[in-house]
Amino acid sequence: MTIYDFTVKDIKGQDISLNSFKGKILLIVNTATGCGLTPQYTGLQKLYEDYQAKGFEILDFPCNQFANQTPGTENEINSFCTLKYNTTFPRFSKIEVNGKNESPLYRFLKERQKGVLGSKNIKWNFTKFLIDKEGNVIKRYGPDKKPETIEADIKKLL
């Protein structure tokens, strides 16, 4: 099983097969619009601008599970990110990353790359997963890992 076996909902609620990203390097991020880490959108957008033409995509999954820091509708979230941070990478519908209603995609990601001390749960907003061109989960980065600090890992996979 790879990342390409999953279907998710885009920001408009339409089904999107992750198979459509086959052959690309992916960075999958659970995000929030009202978090102290929200300015990471700036670094994410810079990575996207620098490497998207070379086969890199960022997949943004808003999540409201951590202190209700993404309370808006999909439309409000998308407008906020587009207007405040000028983001242009794909954004998806709000999901849950932990618990009984967690997204199957995130269950898969967490099984493939565990966190600190082998924990599976996502600890906070802006946890990142790096996926290679074959759909394998290569690395997991904690929320405090700024986007610009993982650029070298992205370049190695490109």
Strand pairing class (128-131; 25-31): antiparallel
What's the number of domains the chain is made of?
A: 1
pTM of the model: 0.96
Residue span of the structural domain in which 42 resides: 3-157
Provide the pLDDT for residue 1. Answer: 86
> How far, in Å, CA of 38 to CA of 46, rounded?
14
**What is the set of active-site residues?**
35
Rg (the chain; Cα; Å): 14
Identify the weakest region by mean pLDDT among 60-64, 79-83, 114-118, 131-135. Answer: 114-118
153 band by pLDDT with thresholds 50, 70 and 90: very high
**Which amino acid does the sequence have at 75?**
N
Q: What is the CATH number of the domain that holds 120?
A: 3.40.30.10
